[in-house]
Amino acid sequence: MPEIHARTCHLCEANCGVLIEVEGREVLSVKGNPNHVLSEGYICPKATALPDIQNDPDRLKTPLKKVDGQWQEIEWETAYREIADRLVKILAGSKRASLYLGNPNTHIYSTTTQMRRFYKALNLRGLYSASTLDQLPHMIMQKWVYGHNALYAVPDVDRTQYMLIVGGNPLASNGSLWTVPNVRKRLKRVQARGGKIVVIDPRRTETAKVADTHYFIKPSTDTALFLGILLALDEAGLVKPGRLTSMLDAGWKSAWEDFRHFNLEQLSEFCGISVSNIRQIANDLGSGEPTICYGRMGVSVTEFGTLNHYLIAMINIATGNLDREGGVMFGLPLVDPVERSGTGSYNRYQSRISGRPEVLGELPTAELAADITIGGEGQIGALFVFAGNPVLSGPDGRTLDAALETLDLMVSIDIYMSETAVHADYILPPCGPLEKDHYPLFLAPLAVRNFAAYSPPLFEMEAGMKADWQIVAELSNAIQMAKGDTPDALVPPRKILEGMIEASTYDLKLESIEAEENGVDLGPLFSQLPDRLKTHDQKIHCAPELIMGDLARFKTGLDTRDASDLVLIGRRHVRSNNSWLHNSNRLLKGPERCTLMIHPNDAKARNIQDGAMTTVSNSVGRVEVVAEVTEDVMQGVVSIPHGYGHNRVGTKLSIAEVKPGVSINDLIDAKPMDALSGNAVLNGVAVNVAAVMA
């Protein structure tokens, strides 16, 4: 007989509640749970693909070893032992081991409980991850301004009257550093109560199309916009921090002295948004009503990503909307990373490639290929890639593609023979998504409302399979034994999670949360400052030295910006999630999504017709992609989605290969980075576009 099980979809940040109807091990349907405390019955198309991943015939289920270029099945214990023995020999020389973590790890709480032992086994000094292709500017800014890297101020959209969204597309991302399922309905509710949604983006995104107002902006000029808003607030007498005033350190005054060195007209010309529109935005943000300034990927993956997020914070402070209902607020999750972990590190050591500082334990992924190929003490000889595909996700992917082949040892922990995993010596595949439990350890702190939800495994693991955490723990122990060390005792993740919850300020236990199939509502976000601040003086640090230095660097470059003919930006789609959901038939079906969006005037100047093949090129690379002529991108801008390029030799992604698309990162130079965080610059890339001649 069919049974219906309630659980959480873990494929993106929204953490929607789903009802999964099963008969035996067959999934009959996936529907939204109307009684879920956070998602209210909403699900996006990704949730319906859960059974596609679970039952994918391309999903790997047995450890594999590459022998003379061919893959052979191998037993788990043999794989562990061989990997450990090879690693120990590498570490005995001048080379080191490193680790790349892909963003699916954010959704797997259980592996987090085992990672310290893995770091210890690898003698890890500086890991690589998707964070330096994404959100590290947020995190280091938060450390310097609020005192802790995990103090995310998230939009309290359910109680706001005005929301400015810059470089974000929550209708496609379901939030992004903002766990907010059913965001379309939530934005509509703002409008229904007389509020306003404004989107600023070089593309008329899905979110822009439901907003009250959309402004085009020149890519990677957001810094000028944010400074312009601050100047316009100051000009109009709308700088009113209110109750925050007593929490601001002396840097508040000096920061404004630096801001006033800029000229509003010059900033307007630089970003392409008129002075009158900037003043209107400032007037709306400073109206006294609850308002929000929110920026995401488009402002992060730029040369001044950390500076951008600092300026966003200053706007929310200047209008009194930090830590205010309807503004941006800090969550208080059941398992609180702010209280459970250190505040985050910076510059404890430097990259051997460039001398750039370590940031929160990470080195820039843009330097990974060089760290593999450039010789010298500390060169990467062994690389472990966990649920990541940096060949498609990182800049200049073709160079990394070649670099991975030069490693002495590469191990991929992945369910797919991806464009990255194909280079491995060993692939260790975890169990399917419905065979593991779930708790939103990293994403509950970013939720629009405090909540908790625990999902036990829906199915028992198939014979011979292992969970992600087991692979990490058992491989770590094998390495420790190969070194002659005594392995650490293994504590199951659920037991560790129970302890975390029992240590919480909430009077809850894991068993009681598990019993609530709709999740546990812990209440709306509420004011927590100054108690929540982790700075040494419990003040908001308004002029961190390194950030103000970058502000000066931005000012120096205002008059020297190159005027490129066309610049390239990325985009995302609600039916996709980076590179790892393209092997689902139900998500990939429909019109071609990997297209080059180009404005009609730019297309006409190049004799490019809609649907025709084009070449996009620069000094980094060249791709051929179908043109989509549309006024949804501003003139001078072209757009290719992130995460495609599934046409590499040796992969096993039979559905993705039908519509392989091209990798935008084959056109992106690895050298430019945000100076403060080491985040890659993925937007605003100069390109040439031409029609492919028949």
The pLDDT mean for the chain works out to 96
Beta carbons within 10 angstroms of residue 587's beta carbon: 23
Same domain, 19 and 115: no
Residue 530 lies in a domain: no
Stretch (H or E) spanning 66: strand 64-67
Percent residues over pLDDT 90 in the chain? 93
pLDDT digits (tens, 9 = 90+) for 607-666: 999 999 999 999 999 999 999 999 999 999 999 999 999 989 999 999 999 999 999 999
Same domain, 357 and 501: yes
What is the per-residue pLDDT for 565? 85
Same domain, 165 and 291: yes
DSSP states of 537-576 as a string?
TSSB--S-HHHHHHHHHHHHHTT-----SEEEE----TT-
pLDDT digits (tens, 9 = 90+) for 389-404: 999 999 999 999 999 9
Of 485, 516, 547, which residue sits at a domain end?
516
Name, in order, each residue with C-beta under 8 angstroms of 550's C-beta and a sequence gap of 6 or more: 304, 306, 307, 675, 676
Both tokens of 8, joined, read 């959480």
Residue 542 lies in a domain: no
Cα separations in angstroms, 234 against 282, 286, 319, 551? 9, 10, 10, 18
Say yes or no to pLDDT of 561 above 70: no
Residue 556 lies in a domain: no
Same domain, 322 and 212: yes
Beta carbons within 10 angstroms of residue 441's beta carbon: 21
Same domain, 368 and 319: no
pLDDT digits (tens, 9 = 90+) for 87-105: 999 999 999 999 999 988 9
Same domain, 118 and 100: yes
Query: How does strand 70-73 pair with strand 64-67?
Result: antiparallel
| CATH code assigned at 18 | 3.30.200.210
Name, in order, each residue with C-beta under 8 angstroms of 598's C-beta and a sequence gap of 6 or more: 608, 614, 627, 628, 629, 630, 633, 638, 689
pTM above 0.95, yes or no: yes
pLDDT digits (tens, 9 = 90+) for 270-281: 999 999 999 999
Mean pLDDT of 479-495: 94
Query: How does strand 380-386 pair with strand 409-413?
Result: parallel
Same domain, 594 and 628: yes
Same domain, 397 and 431: yes
Same domain, 505 and 579: no
| CATH code assigned at 396 | 3.40.50.740
| CATH code assigned at 619 | 2.40.40.20
Give the Cα separation of 358 and 96 in Å (integer): 16
Of 295, 327, 359, which residue sits at a domain end?
327
Residue 522 lies in a domain: no
Residue 375 lies in a domain: yes
Q: What DSSP designation does 356 have?
A: P
Same domain, 119 and 189: no
Residue 547 lies in a domain: no
Report whether 142 contacts 359 (CB < 8 A). no
Same domain, 27 and 121: no
Domain with 70, as residue range(s), is 64-132+350-516
Number of domains present in the structure of the chain: 4
Residue 550 lies in a domain: no
What is the per-residue pLDDT for 563? 65
| pLDDT tier for residue 206 given thresholds of 50, 70 and 90 | very high
Helices (H), 394-492: 397-404, 468-482
Percent residues over pLDDT 70 in the chain? 99
Of 327, 358, 383, which residue sits at a domain end?
327
Say yes or no to pLDDT of 122 above 90: yes
Say yes or no to pLDDT of 669 above 80: yes
| CATH code assigned at 318 | 3.40.228.10
Q: What is the 3-state secondary structure (H, E, C) of 477-510?
A: HHHHHHCCCCCCCCCCHHHHHHHHHHCCCCCCCH
Same domain, 300 and 379: no
Place of tokens 């007209």: 265
What is the per-residue pLDDT for 574? 86
Stretch (H or E) spanning 628: strand 622-629
Give the Cα separation of 279 and 228 in Å (integer): 8
Whether omega for the bond prior to residue 493 falls within 30 degrees of 0, making it cis, is: no
Query: What length is written for the chain?
Result: 694
Place of tokens 């594999």: 64
Coil, strand or helix at 315: helix
Name, in order, each residue with C-beta under 8 angstroms of 353's C-beta and a sequence gap of 6 or more: 367, 370, 371, 374
Give the Cα separation of 37 and 567 in Å (integer): 42
Residue 50 lies in a domain: yes
Give the Cα separation of 258 and 241 in Å (integer): 18
Q: How far apart are the first and last CA of the chain?
A: 58
